[in-house]
Amino acid sequence: MCAIGHALINSSRSVLYQPTFKLVQDLLVAKRYLQLPRVLHKLDMFGALLIDDIGYVRIPQITDHGFQGFGAS
C-alpha cells in the first residue's frame, strides 16, 4: 500500500494514509458534533485516501509451535 501512496505522491497527488479505526472514529465524532460535512469536505480535498484495515484483524494467541496465525476466529 505504501508503494501505491508513493506512486500517487510522485504523480503530484495528495494522499492521506489512515488506519480504519482512526477514520471511523473521526467520522463518528464529527457526526456526533454535527461536523460531518466539514470533515468529509476535508477528506474530499485529497486525491487518494489509503485506508489500512489490518488493525481490524483479530490475531489469535501464539500456538504451541510458536507461530502466530491470521484468520477467522
Is the entire prediction scored with pTM above 0.75?
no
In a domain, 65, yes or no: no
In a domain, 71, yes or no: no
> Does residue 30 lie in a domain region?
yes
Q: What is the DSSP letter of 17?
A: E
Q: How many domains does the chain have?
A: 1
Q: What is the DSSP letter of 57?
A: S
Per-residue pLDDT tens, the chain, 73 aa: give them. 788 888 989 999 999 999 888 898 999 999 999 999 999 999 999 999 998 877 655 555 545 544 444 444 4
Domain membership of residue 17 (yes or no) is yes
Distance CA 20, CA 22 (A): 5
Residue 7 is assigned to a structural domain of this protein: yes
Full domain range(s) for residue 6? 2-55
Structural domain includes residue 15: yes
